[in-house]
Chain A
Amino acid sequence: MILELRSIQKRFGGVVALRNGNLQVEPGEVHLLLGENGAGKSTLMKIVAGLHQPDAGELLWKGERASFAKPADAARMGIAMVHQESLLAPHLSVAENIFLGREPRHPLGFVNRGLMLEQARRLIAEHRFPLQAEWRVERLSPAGKQLVEICRAIQHGSSLLIFDEPTSSLSEAETREVFRIVRALKERKMGVIYITHRLEELRAVGDRVTILRDGETVHTGPLAEITTARLIQHMVGRDMGQLYSRKPLPAGEPLLEVQGVTRRPLLENISFTIRAGEIVGMAGLIGAGRTELCRAIFGLDPIDSGTVRVQGEPAQSRSPREAVAHGVALIPEDRQRAGLATMLPIGYNMTAASMDKVARAGVGIDHAAEAKIAAGYTERLRIRCQSPRQLAGRLSGGNQQKVVIAKWLVRGAKVFLFDEPTRGIDVGAKAEVYEVMDELARSGAAILMVSSELPELLQVADRILVMRQGRISGELPGNTTQEAIMHLAVEGGSE
């Protein structure tokens, strides 16, 4: 046993984050840690990594009681964490990041750059990572940044590596690469704890699984002995089958018509139409141009040629302001950065795009009308909060996403571009986001849903467009297979 946690408890103010956290990790195993957002996974891992201290319970490291007062203590013992959001210094090189805080030195105390570069190169070559020691980290993809963090952990001789949702921002190919690396770590007899929301990918890497619910370990055991349905039941405490299913509607008039949109070198001759009531999925690898397409339609980036029409009217937008005026809404991939003002109340966020609806005579804000709108949408979207005056940043990921959606419902948008709408959201809340999208479609909106999670696309979309290298490489019906999508995403298909 490399790590053992016994009855860990932790509370923050009045909120109990962990009431009974238990976990055992063996060397040479990949241990999956599952649970909804707020179940206590992150808190438990932060305790292991020395970021938090438990209120009660025992932490045994290689059989001996241990306590980590700060992250450096845990790191010294050989515990490393690969974070969901990269914690690297973006302006430094790959090599400098790998050795950050432990730079090899000359006898006089100066940093030995030559030795550092050489060691970094050897490490990268040994693991066949697609990296160069001299590259600046800010230019790396999210996957590349994770590789740098993994290099750091190996270089520091860690014996336990914690992955916090490593693949949530990665494409399928990159995910496979991460799996390859995880298996290699396993062979080196390292212990790996792996947190994920993507249920379909766990079996590719995991040996055993521990499930947390409401701060408590509710199940632990070998992965081979448990069905996925049962896993989900443990996580949410109810059946997945009844969580969500969509019945497509007869499509109405064309709402969004994209014709020959080109933005070199990212987008090449993109054409498609979405009708009222339709949810159209968009698949593709990271970098295939899906986010760039959404940005172009929403007026964030200029296009070289092509036309965009909304409800038959020309709607090429040179700014988001124009796009919003045309009835287009973008729910961005990174909601904390671009979707939500986290330090402002929920109600303010909801009316941000529609001040004319709450401003009397164009100037004075009608606070009563605003409160009414906020309360209405809070109820309609079942946003779990104390009141619409609560700060948006204090909501869970799923509820934050609903606030972003509510902003566009208040505005009365017709065309919705969802870019990875369920990224980092737990299973139960995902189903609720799907339901909101379904409701939108039923009320006559046109929806484009970009997602890297194929099962989600198959579940939600009426038909699926696949992009590859800036082009649409094909269109598939909603009941297609993951294999068919991957084929188009990787190999191209017909031009």
Chain B
Amino acid sequence: MTQRLQRLLPFLTLILLFVGLSIASPDHFLSKTNLSSVVRQTAVINLMALGMTLVIISGGIDLSVGAILAMGGLLGTMAMEKGYPIGLGIVIGILTGSACGLVNGLLTTRLKINPFIVTLGTLGIIRGATLIISNGLPVHQIPPAFSYLGEGNLLGVPFVLWVLIACAAAVHVLLEHTRLGRYAFSIGSNEHAAVYAGIPVAFHTTAVYAIGGMLTGLAGMIEASRLMTGQPTAGQGYELQAIAAVVIGGGSLRGGEGSVVGTLIGAFIMGLLANGSDLLGISPYLQQAIIGAVIILAVWFDELRKRRLGA
């Protein structure tokens, strides 16, 4: 029973945070504006973290997602600036993300280089390319209607929440009910065994990175819509937040473990911590330290649980 309790720990932490903040700051925290803003703020990290969940389960890592986010957002908004319809701009942003992910996957599997190194490299390359394309300047000429993606409401809740729910459901189905998802677990748990079982490892690894890139491209468009600019410097440091959300939610950097629900919880824990610190007037400097400590604690508890399982 304690095992089940420990497995639920991230979820309980989230509930506890929610209840605690409701009590500490009842007027502000529970207001619709505030809750909406928490959702909007975390949606971007959440979407990236969903892709990162896939990548981490398959035993990889993607450090370039922050740069991909900027590249997707930039190319998408540039298309709109050139007069293309908003929908097409969003699609371009998503496709840009997918293409970047595809490159990461191909480099990892073809050159057989550790993904940490590959994506450390592409982080620099993609960020550099984004700055070159934009000449370092943000894109401002964006149709006002585009703000609906990041700031609009549908059925009384932020539109991004629906996007997030749809993507989370899709990734969950992908992981638990498709061959691709199963192979991601197999490859992450034991790549040698996957090769020996005749699984097309390179193909599926590449696909996982491409899907991660796709979700990051979408996150880039949402970020651009919230800022109403295409920022070539957007998303710096987001990769670490996305990775943190996955590991707080029980994902293992050794691969083979992780879940959509866990990742969502992880991202919302970080979102609530940031929001709560703001509401309670805790300095943003201290916020960073708190979140850092939470990451270590979460992984430590998870390790304790696994160690007990292994004994």
Chain A contact residues, CB within 8 Å of chain B: 12-13, 298, 300, 320-321, 323-325, 330, 332, 337-344, 348-349, 352-353, 355, 359, 362-365, 367, 391, 393-394, 407
Give the one of A338, A341, A364 with max B CB within 10 A: A341
Given contacts A13-B308, A352-B197, 11 further A-B contacts (CB under 8 A): A324-B197, A337-B190, A341-B186, A341-B190, A341-B256, A343-B190, A344-B185, A344-B189, A348-B182, A352-B182, A363-B179
**B8: A residues at CB distance < 8 A:** none
**B197: A residues at CB distance < 8 A:** 320, 324, 352-353, 407
**B196: A residues at CB distance < 8 A:** 298, 320, 330, 332, 338-339
- Docked Cα-Cα span, A13 to B256, in Å, equals 25
- Docked Cα-Cα span, A116 to B37, in Å, equals 65
Q: Is B144 an interface residue (CB 8 A)?
A: no
- Docked Cα-Cα span, A300 to B198, in Å, equals 11
Contact partner of B193 (CB less than 8 A), chosen from A324, A339, A364, A367, is A339
B177 lies within 8 A of A344 (CB): no
Q: Is B200 an interface residue (CB 8 A)?
A: yes
**Count of interface residues, chain B, beta-carbon cutoff 8 Å:** 26
Contact partner of A344 (CB less than 8 A), chosen from B195, B199, B200, B256, is B256
B254 to chain A, nearest CB (A): 8
23 contacts between A and B (CB under 8 A): A13-B311, A323-B198, A324-B197, A324-B198, A325-B198, A330-B196, A338-B190, A339-B193, A339-B196, A340-B193, A341-B190, A341-B256, A343-B189, A343-B190, A344-B185, A344-B186, A348-B185, A352-B186, A352-B197, A364-B177, A365-B176, A365-B181, A407-B197
Q: A13-B308, A353-B199, A365-B177 are in contact. Are A341 and B194 (CB under 8 A)?
A: yes
Closest to B256 in A: A343
Q: Is B257 an interface residue (CB 8 A)?
A: yes
Mask of B194-214 contacts with A, CB within 8 angstroms, 1/0? 111111100000000000000
Q: Is B192 an interface residue (CB 8 A)?
A: yes
B179 lies within 8 A of A338 (CB): no
**B195: A residues at CB distance < 8 A:** 300, 320, 338
Q: A13-B308, A341-B186 are in contact. Are A320 and B192 (CB under 8 A)?
A: no
- Docked Cα-Cα span, A300 to B199, in Å, equals 13
Q: A13-B311, A344-B189 are in contact. Are A363 and B198 (CB under 8 A)?
A: no
- Docked Cα-Cα span, A330 to B176, in Å, equals 27
* Minimum-distance CB pairs A-B, first 5: A324-B198, A341-B189, A353-B197, A338-B192, A341-B190
Q: Is B34 an interface residue (CB 8 A)?
A: no
- Docked Cα-Cα span, A12 to B311, in Å, equals 6
A321 lies within 8 A of B198 (CB): yes
B311 lies within 8 A of A363 (CB): no
B198 lies within 8 A of A365 (CB): no
Mask of B146-181 contacts with A, CB within 8 angstroms, 1/0? 000000000000000000000000000000111101
B199 lies within 8 A of A363 (CB): no
A343 lies within 8 A of B182 (CB): no
A107 to chain B, nearest CB (A): 41
A377 to chain B, nearest CB (A): 15
A352 lies within 8 A of B178 (CB): no
Closest to B183 in A: A355
Closest to A337 in B: B192
**A355: B residues at CB distance < 8 A:** 179, 182-183
A348 lies within 8 A of B186 (CB): yes
- Docked Cα-Cα span, A2 to B84, in Å, equals 86
B190 lies within 8 A of A363 (CB): no
Closest to B254 in A: A343
